[in-house]
Structure 1
């Protein structure tokens, strides 16, 4: 008796049960058990009776033979994330936006803001030659930026009051000088800025807490701290000096001098490159600057 005849006479009900089975795992077990029960070269005959491929029957046979352990290989399923397809994407994004970052002037959040649109970032990434127009969409790039902690918002404080035709050339020159300073081992590179005042007292400051904390209804006080920050661009370490009133130009210079003495005096650095926002306290018209 051939295997086909054997299946038709002795395993007809079992074949019908397999065809009617809806559960995928149960169906694989039933096909594998049938192949083990019949033995011999039955794969082709079973595949013909069940109207499926020999490869699938063989897979069911091995599935039951190996103890019903299925290697799902989930890591090979679905679409890979962009940072897996392009491992250098995050690093390239940082290089593109590093000169357009801003922090919250009131320190209400730790987010950094990018004064560039997603389209502009994508355009500059494509100009590097590593990516194509269809490598990723704007929404996918936006999601990656959010995961990296960069909020795509225009910060009004960084918007120039009046843009002249030389503005782009000025900023290109600033970026060039910055690169020169960072590559010179005898030059210290810092950025300075004075932030908005922080009131000292039992105030909410629009904050949240898991424990119920009561704050005063009105913020009627003159007690405040005004932070003046110095960022070492080579070490990426911030230093803060707090004032109880608005610091003057002389105060800022005193802070820079104190910082230089503590950090650079005996380090071989004989030049200090300072990046500032050309505000009223540190503009070019101030004699001390």
Structure 2
């Protein structure tokens, strides 16, 4: 008989584990009322359930109400929440090395600094190393702040286009027309003419890393 009771108790504990939140509390309250004379202390000792949870379930069952869950207050606080200045310092380090989405499809910002480089920059600025999050956590923080690591791509130069071919063809045509004319002096000059050709070859990305012009910059 005792073995049968233990088996039933095990089934009840297993059933409670399959439920969550309000439904679990109501189940525990019903079991406590029918098998433990409504005693949360006895149910805690018999089934191993938390007494506070049982009492909350009994209250919900008796009053016909449902207590609101506060999931946001659970778990560990994020590093940038524990130290509000951390987010501001990270933003100050990363912003000079960011650029917007070239296609303007999202508000996401790209940076050419890795999490390790951001972390080292904060250390160089005097932030206590022992209080800084790990490199992996720093990567998560950057993601939450809407930054994504993406090395700035080099532009692909346009070697030959229809427009430039037309320019050279016209030059050659003029040369052929005046060749042999003693009153015409031909002068050869090397110039760098710009030709606008629709979309930028870089897709709108930053052409350089401004912090690195005057010396070695972060992420160089």
TM-score (norm 2): 0.46
Higher strand share: 1
TM-score (norm 1): 0.38
